[in-house]
Chains A and B, each alone.
Chain A
Amino acid sequence: MLSAVFIYNQKGEVLISRLYRHDVKRSVADVFRVHVISSPTSVVRSPVTTLGSTSFYHIRYDNLWLCAVTKNNASAAMVFEFLYRLLGLGVSYFGRFDEESVKNNFVLIYELLDEVLDFGYPQNIEVDTLKLYVTTESVRSTRALQSDALATIPQSITMQATGTTAWRRNDIVYKKNEAFVDVIESVNLIMSAKGTVLRADVQGQIVMRSFLSGMPECKFGLNDKLVLDRDPASGAAASASASASASGSTQLGRRQGGMGGFGDGESVEIADCQFHQCVRLGRFDTDRTISFIPPDGEFELMRYRTTENVNLPFKVLPVVREMGKTRIEYEVLIKSNFSAKLSATNMAVTIPTPPNATKCRIKVTGAGAGKAKYHPEENAIVWRISRFQGLQELALTAVVDLAPMTKPTPWSRPPIALDFQVLMFTASGLLVRFLKVFEKSNYQSVKWVRYMTKAGSYEIRI
């Protein structure tokens, strides 16, 4: 369990200091500042620092240091999960979580800290529930009035905060019942200079925004290989008549039909997946059904990982020649590997240059090849392409002049890194087959699904 939580600014000044147990003093905050924040070595060698019997755990965000302190053999994994959850809470409450917002909202932050930990044990850190009773100024006054008038409201709040669906109020009403599903994939790649794929995987995230009344019971289906293999009939039926499957899922179906890049009836081998706590894990374990009562608004329904048959959206063929000690020549060819109907946007290719580079002559070729510029402060050429069509090829050539060095040190040749996003494309091939909503009032609901693949860490060595 945690003995204290501190928030510092960049310089190490304490902005928030909350002790939970009497085994530490407030001055323990100075120990962390002296040993970690003001430590002369700027590289953090470990996020856990144990000094004597006191362990400090820290994460950094914007210009803040969030630090937790324990005196016992606490679960380090839990402490970090907690700190990240606290961070998420801050972002959700204040929009931005930085020194300014912490200073402006310190009263509220203390209230939250009082609520999320008791005697150093995490209690309930669900944003939606907390927002019901730990509220910002403007909301507070009306709530306070209500609570005077109706003593039942806090009753229901506390029921929810401790209940089996701690993440959802039971009195939600929408005129139009809608659910939006976003499948967001990050594709990670390490490719060797020779073009062999050393490692490729996809980390997917399914984010749902639910605007559904009452206590809706949801069932969610993917083209999961294990499900489709077990019950091929239902798989075929679903993919053949996706548009007409569950009532009200037409939008879901229509969008699917418009997607390039997928073949019908293909399934995906999911290496592993993790679910939001609303999903019944027992059900999933027995028959891989994803069933849940969703929180209201936006939440991450699941995360998954695939490693087989990754569709790499881009192929990069780099040639980097060091011509003696004074010049380097680059030829970088990029090919897009998805349907011509689709396109990647906000693409940036970072091509590293040696620190002693002086001048770059860069040329890009191909339709809409964008702009490439040398950024000396980053030691890189950054090539930006606003729109990269499917099945297209673009090339960059560059000659970089090097300044002579008194003490020649070899260049470490960092990898070329790509950043991009491709809409309506999934690198894993994952597809949402259905989302069914059952509620006792039996209302109709509309569901939408979007797909996007973006670069995680997409590295090509040179």
Chain B
Amino acid sequence: MMNATIQTKIAQFQIVKQKILAALRKGENYELKTELNSEYKERRKEAVRRVIANMTVGKDVSGLFTDVLKNMHTDDLEIKKLIYLYLINYAKTQPDLVILAVNTFVKDAEDTNPLIRALAIRTMGCLHVQEVLDHLSDPLRKCLKDPSPYVRKTAVMCVAKVYDLSPAIAEENGFVEDVRRALSDSNPMVISNAVTVLTEINEMAPGQNIWRLDSKTVPTLLAAINECVEWGQIAILEALADYTPKTEKEAESICERLLPRLQHANGSVVLTTVRLLLKYEKYVHRADLLSQFSKKMVPPLITLLSSEPEIQYVALRNINIILQRHPKMLSKEIRVFFCKYNDPIYVKYEKLDVLVRICSERNTEPLLNELKEYAREVDVDFVRRAIQAIGRLAIRYESSADKAVKVLIELLQLKANSVVQDVVVVLRDVFRRYPQSFADVVPTLCEHIDYVNEPDAKAALIWILGEYSEHISNIGNLLSTSIESFLDEEDEGVQLALVNSAVKFFLKRPQQGQALVLKALQTATEKCANPDVRDRAYIYWRLLSADPNSARAVALVEMPPVELESASLSASLLEELIAELGSVASVLQKPAKLFVYKKTDKAGVPRDSEMANAGFDSAEGGATSAGDNGTTGGIDTSNEGEPELLISF
């Protein structure tokens, strides 16, 4: 009773509260409206600030459009900038009203102050409203020829915005041609922005080849790059990386001119230069030059590992790709990839991967010691990867197997639960690679049998027991204890392993094994609910009763050697990622088409249909779904299901 009354009271209170809040909200916009129309400049200024603050936190202030607009004509640069910001945000929703602002923009575009001219032209482009375009053309044409390079570089960028909205208008007015001309501007920043814009226009209109870098322009760009700010350098480097040199001589000279960029403090300038050098490898054939290039690339790549952790991460993901092209490149530098205790976990994972990749037979010993340290750390995932890495080294280099097994056994003695499980699984693979070589450690392993409790590890251990049954005296006891609890096992892998190992044991030691194998097969055939396990047991049973020799041939057959290499990229994907070094694709190590939607082409047909048909699995399907709303393609939280996480760990 009491509860019910309280709940109704609360409900009533909620309603009242909402009403009050609604009134308040309305009130705030109302109040702002008054303030925006105030006769005092300071109050109007403060009101504009509050409008922007509200906009930032996501409150709807679009209703104040006309009132904000009234304040637009002002000498106060701060207010002007804020109002422009407001317009960028709401212009699309009120295209009719934006026209009211156009006059001010056009006037500003002719101001004596270049900062204001640039601001006007920059903002007009950002409004993204078709109606504004007609009024933009004249001022834009003037600004493209402005005496101030600051205005010119802004105007050049504005052409991309116009093209984005209407390629036709950009072409008709000759803006694209103007940008092409800007490539020979006297100012480096205008040049680099022109490169950026032309590259982007090419992407917007795929297949039309609006701009192609030709051998005449290359020298201009090479000269400009020395004077550009770092971001401009990146734009030029990217354009050059996508350029196909006409002659080998040209390729060589481009590479040589760009080598100094590897010394730049900006990590992305360095990575883009590396990308260019790797891409040009196919045009340059002189062996001495190629080896000089790859020698020059190494130190800067390593230096990236002392930058901020996020940049380190990008660098490491890329180094991982580069190593698949040049496996020997960093083999002398193995120690710089040793993990620091405080490295972020994502950096540690990547370092570990690189370490295993570049480890040569010569330096397995120090690396194994290092991996042993990692296996004692706290993060369970990292520990698992370290243990798996030990296994990989053992399998790759026979000479290191003894040491690796020794390390694994030492780790076992830590008696940490997850470590034991991981070690047992890895030991199984190592034992399989070198059959019958490690009989002496099996007794030690058996001492830890009680700690083994995860299905994979159990199955691995039982497999080892079967394999080494002739070497261990008490194996019969160990196996029969396991068979006692056969039906308690929920995992079919463990049950299958038990059946197999019981049969192996019997074949190797018929005397001791008879009772055991009978028990195992009986339990499996009569009481086990899993049909696969039952069938397997039946097959063995019949084999054993029909012809023990063929049973021997089946059960004790030599297994194919295990492969445990780091995942490698397919040749075509590797080629693609090298061409896009430093990009999101290289970080995800997935082709770009999985997460980038092409802009609609001229006909306005979204291109994602072709991607959906390309036969990607569900993960990629999830990635494409977000683009269903065509060009805008913004993530819409309401109608999109759980977006797929593309990053792989």
Which A residues contact B (CB, under 8 angstroms)? Answer: 1, 13-20, 22-31, 34-35, 43-55, 57, 59, 70-78, 80-84, 106-107, 110-111, 114, 118-119, 121-126, 133, 140, 144, 147-148, 151, 154-155, 157-159, 161-164, 166, 188, 190, 192, 198-199, 201, 203, 271-277, 280-282, 284-285, 300, 302-303, 305, 307, 408-410, 412-415, 417, 457, 459, 461
Contacts and interface: CB of A to CB of B under 8 A. Distances in A.
Contacts of A157: 115
B157 interface: yes
Contacts of A122: 231
A199 B335 contact: yes
A52 B583 contact: no
B259 interface: yes
Given A75-B272, A81-B230, A154-B116, 11 more contacts: A14-B58, A26-B58, A48-B314, A52-B626, A73-B585, A82-B231, A123-B189, A198-B370, A277-B230, A282-B226, A409-B417
A314 B401 CA distance: 36
Contact of A81 (B57, B128, B266, B345): B266
Contacts of A18: 85
Nearest to B203: A72
Contacts of A51: 626, 635, 643-646
Contacts of A410: 376, 414-416
What 6 pairs across the A-B complex have the smallest Cβ distances? A52-B626, A158-B150, A272-B299, A281-B260, A77-B268, A285-B260
B68 interface: no
Interface stretch (B7-15, B304-312, B506-514, B527-535): B304-312
Contacts of A126: 229
B340 interface: yes
Given A25-B635, A50-B588, A111-B81, A461 B311 contact: no
28 contacts: A22-B632, A26-B58, A44-B344, A49-B647, A51-B635, A52-B624, A52-B643, A54-B635, A74-B583, A76-B314, A77-B314, A78-B272, A78-B582, A110-B81, A111-B81, A147-B113, A163-B149, A164-B188, A190-B338, A198-B335, A198-B370, A271-B303, A277-B229, A282-B226, A284-B260, A303-B265, A412-B377, A459-B341
B268 A81 contact: yes
A237 to B, nearest CB: 27
A271 B299 contact: yes
B37 interface: no
Contact of B595 (A29, A50, A161, A285): A50
A115 to B, nearest CB: 9
B583 A121 contact: no
B632 A75 contact: no
Describe B's contact surface by its main secondary structure.
helix
A91 B299 CA distance: 30
Majority secondary structure, A binding face: mixed
Contact of B259 (A110, A124, A140, A285): A285
A289 to B, nearest CB: 12
Q: How large is the interface on B (under 10, 10 to 19, 20 to 34, 35 or more residues)?
A: 35 or more
Nearest to A7: B56
Interface string B294-325: 00000110110010111101110010000000
Contacts, number: 324
B369 interface: yes
Nearest to B592: A73
B112 to A, nearest CB: 5
A198 B338 contact: yes
B580 A73 contact: yes
Contacts of A46: 313, 346, 647, 649
A114 B58 contact: no
A387 to B, nearest CB: 26
B644 A110 contact: no
Nearest to A22: B128
